[in-house]
Amino acid sequence: MDMSWIQVFVLTVSECVAPAGKTVCQQQEFELTFLTEADCAVAREQLIELKEASESVIINADATRCVATARQRESFSSLAAVNAASAGRDDYQPPSREQVQADFLETAHQERLGVVPECEEGRDVYPCRKGSIIIEEPASNTVEIWRQDSN
């Protein structure tokens, strides 16, 4: 086990909470950590919507933001090393097989890369590949013009 730095996204939520029956709110901030920017953005939108529905919370949407940062974490060389280090813990659940397996689109792309020939300069044979990019047959040069008739 080593220590490494990983990128995370921190959602800072800025809100002012009023206790029941009070007209003055108390400002507070809290942070949540996410592994992807998309997850952070979704959580931000959902929290803003949820808290704005409350009668006792005022959310500062401008100060509620997702920021990329890094955290130092333990890193393991393999899934087996993670499972061995976490054996016997009540709060550990090994990843499901679906999480461990490669995405089927990535697998299909890699398989197709193996059968598509390399692109050659001046030779129009499609599909072909340049590195890990597959180039399909270029679109025709015809342009369709659509117009709405006004009556």
Cis peptide before 94 (omega within 30 of 0): no
Residue ranges in the chain assigned as alpha helix (H): 37-52, 79-86, 97-100, 104-115
pLDDT tens column, 2-34: 778 888 899 999 998 888 777 788 888 999 999
Say what the pLDDT of residue 42 is.
93
CA distance 54 to 32: 20
**pLDDT for residue 143 is more than 80:** no
Say what the pLDDT of residue 65 is.
92
pLDDT tens column, 95-139: 776 655 556 677 888 888 899 888 887 777 788 888 888 888 766
How far from the centroid of its chain's Cα atoms is residue 93's Cα? Answer: 22
Cα–Cα–Cα angle for 32, 79, 99, rounded to 5 degrees: 65
